Chains A and B, each alone.
Chain A
Amino acid sequence: MSSSLTLAPAPRSEAAEAVRAEVREFLAAELAAGSFETHVDTWLSGVDPDFSKKLGDRGWLGMTWPKQYGGHERSAMERYAVTEELLAAGAPVAAHWIADRQSGPNLLTYGTEKQRQEILPRIAAGECFFVIGMSEPDSGSDLASIRTKATRNGDDDWVVNGAKVWTSNAHASHYGIVLVRTAPLDTSNRHAGMSQLLIDLSLPGITVNPIRILDGGHHFNEVVFEDVVVPGDMLLGEEGNGWHQVTAELAFERSGPERFLSTYPLVAEFARRVADSGDPAALATLGRLSARLLALRQMSLRIAAALDRGELPNIPAALVKDVGTTFEGDVIEEIRRVVDVTPSLDSPDALGRALAEAQLHQPGFTLRGGTNEILKGIVARGLGLR
């Protein structure tokens, strides 16, 4: 197969297994103490700053970053184990998720020394949360068509006007890394003229309007910028290099276990039902789902190992997200076929509730972070077809 799709197997990591055991012990204690309840898709919907702070206190945020910025200089394999355990337990990790996964690494790569020193230690402590400002009301998959623009004023500060949408938890976050046009669209080079700005969401001129998803939950927002003055030193990276910087984030954004474990709490509930009933058809379904999950883990682990080697495997990451998010949705139908249960958020049955949560979140799985059609296009390029 094309070498751009194939990664070497991940080496085994004793350090990862050691931290995994610590996280498991922590989660068992938190569950026993009633500090959280298990839910589906908690990396979108489970906002709990106190819980994020606890993770920061234990050194489980900013794990791979240099110690001088509050990080812990641990491997991507160790970070993988921590995130995987949190997701499998359905723990409330949404508050810090974007900052820890994506914004921090982005700052490490492109941020100024001042930006890194001011912000990274707060992310690692679980005290500073981020949003991604990419999509706009008229720009979804065609990201290069964004219209939010930033112009320099007389003080060399940036003046930002426009709107970003689907910004998860902007109402509970401190900063956004916002993709803006800093030069007009050049139709012969659509990817030029964009830049990333680091924007304090408390600045005057910013309005955060809620956008409710299917279950009524408020996670998404529209963030409107009206003549927002952003200090000149809050440019992230190079002016005009925004497109390149955005695509470099994608290996982090698309390859993690949140791309196949969003509905794992539903699988866990289903396993309880299978153990009780012993139904052979349900047993086979649990086996089939587990085999798919195990394959996805290996794919994702290979990417974590590649990140540890300093690679940015964007094409394999697109593949993980395509296969993984399809799996997250398939879980619902596979379980429905073998269990007689009515999905309802009000169900007295935990399986009925988990099914309802999963069903109402499912359309988002294959859209967020790049639609599966866009991802398959990237894979096709990796196969040499484009």
Chain B
Amino acid sequence: MSDQDLVVETVRDILTGFEPFVLTAERRWDPGLWSALAEAGLTGVGLPEESGGSGGELADAVAIVRTLAAGAGAVPVAEQLLVAGPAVVAADLDLPPVDEPLTFALGPAVTAHASDDGDGPGRFTLSGTVTDVAWGGVARHLVVLAAGAAGPVLGLVDVSGIQATSASNLAGEPRGSLVLDDVPASGALLTSAQVEGLKARYALARSVQLAAALEQVLAWTVQYAGERQQFGRPLGKFQAIQMELAEMAGEVTAVTALTDAAVQSLEHGDPGFPLAAAAAKVRAGAAVEVVARLAHQVHGAIGFTQEHKLHHLTRRLWSWRDEAGSDLAWSRVLAAGLLADGPDGVWPALTRIV
């Protein structure tokens, strides 16, 4: 068994105690699941021990995020392990305790002012409204990409005292806004390449979640088609259903292959990583349309109800594909990157990205 297999087993064991549920304004996340993961040290995996993390590789963190996504775990682990945590460590800021949820948001309307509060450099005050904050109101700390006078600033703020609006995505996951009003923050200036890398990490985090959820939806649908009997035989014996399931499998296989390659690109520190992440996000987003549609079609009316589990993942799929940058935004980034050396450079770029 590889290290990742062990991690996956551990997360699966924990998940058996926490069934997915319908997220509401009253029950916005799964604090019990978070505590169980934190107690097992899983909310610090991939973050170095000297920074307060649990150590381990990116591949371990990815395995945890995949397993939680497939299990519809309502916890901000993807944001913490794959985006916000690594960004804080890379910027040499103090990582908040890893048992406290940390999230990430783009803050195009947030400005960062360098402040001299006596604690030396790296202190800022942040002002402005951050919209679409994943797990806003749940996360204790927020890493936000803000605009500073000298360029982009990565700001780390304690948002535990700030009320988030109640907006949510199609799956009910909190995606509210936070108003920052001269909030003190630690922070660091980022280069434009670092900004691109961070946005790409966010997209990759969602792609990893999408890939895992797509695989799980396929598995559920294949299982259902094998069990559900109509006209005296299982649905899966009908060629029309087999064609649909095979089409789903093609989409899922394509997404997995490209997402894995983008993860490897990040692991290797490839310069092409932002384009690899862009491609993975676009491909995963495209697969959602096919896989969610056909999964619901095969499940029939029961899959259209809250009592059946299918919606826990299909509603997340429909949400995640437009988060961390939409298909449209990332497809343009990808194409512009491919054209950077002119049209004759497109093919060489395609063979270089992943």
Contact = CB atoms under 8 A, between A and B. Distances in A.
Interface string B114-143: 000000000000000000000000000000
A292 B257 contact: no
Main SS class of interface, A: helix
A339 interface: no
A383 B253 contact: no
B335 A274 contact: yes
Nearest to B242: A380
Contact of B350 (A1, A24, A297): A297
A5 interface: yes
A383 B246 contact: yes
A271 B286 contact: no
A232 interface: no
Contacts of A384: 222, 226
Given A291-B286, A298-B261, A385-B225, A268 B343 contact: yes
Contacts of B339: 271, 274-275, 286
Instruction: Classify chain A's interface size.
Output: 35 or more
A131 interface: no
Nearest to B252: A1
Contacts of A275: 339, 342-343
Main SS class of interface, B: helix
A5 B245 CA distance: 13
Interface string B312-354: 0000000000000001101111111011001100111011011
B234 to A, nearest CB: 8
B226 A287 contact: no
Candidate in A283, A285, A288 with the most chain B CB atoms within 10 angstroms: A288
B254 interface: yes
A284 B254 CA distance: 20
Contacts of A271: 338-339, 343, 346
A373 interface: yes
A219 B280 CA distance: 37
A81 B286 CA distance: 27
B103 interface: no
Contact of A290 (B250, B342, B343, B350): B350
A2 B276 CA distance: 26
Interface string A321-334: 01100000000000
22 contacts: A272-B343, A283-B332, A283-B336, A286-B339, A287-B332, A287-B335, A290-B338, A291-B278, A294-B258, A295-B255, A295-B283, A298-B254, A298-B258, A299-B254, A322-B250, A323-B253, A376-B242, A376-B246, A380-B236, A380-B243, A383-B249, A385-B242
Interface of B: 215, 218-219, 222, 225-226, 236-237, 239, 241-243, 245-247, 249-258, 260-261, 264, 276, 278-280, 282-283, 286, 327-328, 330-336, 338-339, 342-343, 346-348, 350-351, 353-354
